Structure 1
Amino acid sequence: MTHAGARSETTAGRRPLALVYRGPASAPGCPEAVAALLAAGPWDLDVRFTGPNEALPLSPRTLSQAALYSQPGGGTLSAAYGRLRPQRGAIRDFVHDGGRYLGFCLGGYLAGATPGFGLLPGDTDQYISSSGATVHDERDTLIQVTWRGRPRTVFFQDGPHFVLDDDADATVLATYDNGTAAALVTGFGRGRVAVCGPHPEATDDWYTDQGLRVQHTLDLAMDLVEAVIQR
């Protein structure tokens, strides 16, 4: 996976750098699950955490060395955006110049515009508030989606659905039962953006801690990563 010409060659002979945000705009366990996903896949990525208390701060300089930036799940959108707003321009420039953005749940919300990084051809909204939603509260639960035409059950906790502009150039990978977009990939400048409302990256303990039946959905999470990595 490479992007933006010279930037992709800054670490010639090294594995492409994948950054995973970890800090106050994420929830414990979410960054670690995304990092494990990226490390386990076939992409030979050098996976590192970035954030205010990490060895790699989230900054234009750090992003300039990366091929992919991932924003994992976390708390509320307003609080997370308040903390990440100073990095909005750097993240937008990173993707626009050829970087890859991967967002799960809160990371999907943050890809939107009200508020967010403005990386999508449209915006986001709460699935639980959408017409015909099958989940109506913020509890950790299971939800059914249709992923590339196949029904799958995925871990879910108040994730977004994606509201696309009429002329949006995007590929919807998954839909919720009410037909709204649950996961998609799209372009932004020379880069790519992949977002998902549910949590296909969830590890077994996410389910067992909530008394839920374990679902094996890493193939879906890997499909999302593959969709954003491809050129």
Structure 2
Amino acid sequence: MRAGRGAAALALAAVVLAASACGAAPSGGGPDGAARAGRAPRADAGGGAAPDPQGRPLALVYRGPAACEGCPEAAHDLLEHDGFAVRYIGPEEEVRFGPDALSGAALYVQPGGTNGQEVSTAWHLLQQDPGFSPELVRAYVRGGGHYLGLCMGGYLAGHDPGYGLLPGDSGQYISSGGATVTDEQDHLVDVSWRGQPQRMYFQDGPYFDLEGPGAQVLARYTNDRAAAAIAPYGSGRVAVSGPHPEAPAEWYRDYGLSDESPAGLALGGDLVHTLLGTAPKS
């Protein structure tokens, strides 16, 4: 588990015995990203975020104890690069969960979780937020909204525990047959993205088993499990990725990996704009 995460999360992780961990937040990811993000006018508890004065589509990125340090900021930078106005939502943020919190948002993002954190722990921590409920997110997507789940957020798009947004479920890639990565350390993982070989930053991310009409697999691991996919949910859509397309260059550097961040940024843009049905920023 990342240094700096609170004692409550450590205690919970010690007692919760559930499925896989996810997320990779190397040192140095958080504070710089937070400083770049700026602050929007504070919303009332449960109120929606203020519209962007430049008219950009609004993305709300969860930042709180169920996310790793640096993961929300990395998602922020990916989305800002692709033309979104980005606000953070969480118990200590300018926008907080409540009945109308997601109104006006084009996208809700559930980012990666802390190293070593169980999926059930992250789910429990989310539900400790006094304004949060899973049905808020489900109703938002069902009504035409968009969900982006990155690593832990991909696990949580599945079921038991999770939002139940996928027409199928998520599972732990490193435990799947034929996996090329078999431990919880930080690695590059080989995938085929739209038929083209790519290497992506990976730390114990999920695969996805999807069934039903409308599901689209953008990337597969070498064992043919889905690594990134998009699926309908009600009138909305859900995008999930096991690897981290949002990983900045310092994540690769911190773990001695070759820097694939420019390619990852492009893949993340492809995932987001396919989700929303919009043209990527040129």
TM-score higher than 0.5 here? yes
Partner of 2:123: 81
In the alignment, which residue of structure 1 is the partner of 2:89? 50
% identical aligned pairs: 52
Q: Is the 8 A contact 1:109 1:160 kept in 2?
A: yes
**How far does the alpha carbon of each residue in 1:109-164 deviate from its partner, in whole angstroms, 9 at most, with x for none?**
01001210000000010000101111111001110000000000000000000012
Residue 223 (structure 2) aligns with: 178
1:230 positional shift = 0.9
Q: Unpaired segments of 5 or more residues in structure 2?
A: 1-47
Supply the distance in 2 between the matched residues of 1:150 and 1:29 (Cα, whole angstroms).
Answer: 29
| 3-state secondary structure, aligned to 1:92 | helix
Partner of 1:32: 73
Question: How many angstroms apart in 1 are the aligned matches of 2:156 and 2:111?
Answer: 10
Q: Which residue of 2 aligns with 1:225?
A: 272
SS at match of 1:214: coil
Equivalent residue for 1:59? 98
Q: Which residue of 2 aligns with 1:213?
A: 258
| Conservation of the 8 A alpha-carbon contact between 1:121 and 1:169 | no
Cα distance change, pair 11–155 in 1 and its aligned pair in 2 (3 A): closer
Calculate the TM-score normalised by the size of structure 2.
0.75
* Separation of aligned partners in 2, 1:126 and 1:148: 22
| DSSP 3-state at the match of 1:158 | coil
Match of 2:23?
none
Whole-Å separation in 1 of the counterparts to 2:177 and 2:213: 21
Number of residue pairs matched? 220
Aligned partner of 1:131 in structure 2 is 177
* Distance in 2 separating the partners of 1:13 and 1:48: 14
Q: TM-score, normalization: structure 1?
A: 0.91
Q: Which runs of 4+ in 1 moved over 3 A?
A: 10-14
- Residue by residue, what CA displacement relative to the aligned partner does 1:65-112 show, whole Å, maximum 9, x if unpaired? 312100110133111111224420000000000001011000000100
Q: For each residue in 1:207-231, what CA deviation from the matched residue of structure 2 results, as whole angstroms up to 9, or x when unmatched?
A: 1011111113211010000111117
Alpha-carbon distance in 2 for matches of 1:84, 1:133: 30
With 44-53 and 123-132 compared, the bigger mean Cα shift is at 44-53
Name the amino acid aligned to 1:183: A
> What secondary structure does 2:223 align onto?
coil
Q: Does 1:159 align with 2:205?
A: yes
C-alpha contact (below 8 Å) 1:114/1:123 kept by paired residues:
no
In 1, distance between residues paired with 2:74 and 2:95? Answer: 19
- Checking the alignment, whether the CA contact within 8 Å between 1:120 and 1:188 is kept in structure 2 is yes
Rounded to whole Å, the distance in 2 between the matches of 1:175 and 1:80 is 25
CA RMSD for the aligned pairs?
1.7
Aligned equivalent of 1:3? none
**Distance in structure 2 (CA, Å) of the matches to 1:83 and 1:222:** 29
2:52–2:85 contact (8 Å) kept in structure 1: no
* Secondary structure of 2:200's aligned partner: strand
Q: Residue 39 of structure 1: CA displacement?
A: 0.5
CA–CA distance in 1 between the matches of 2:199 and 2:55? 37
Residue 13 of structure 1, CA deviation: 7.6
Rounded Cα–Cα distance in structure 2 between residues aligned with 1:92 and 1:52: 19
Tell me the residue number matched to 1:98.
144
1:60 is paired with a residue whose SS is coil
The answer to whether the 8 Å contact 2:190/2:199 transfers is yes
1:191 aligns with 2:232: no
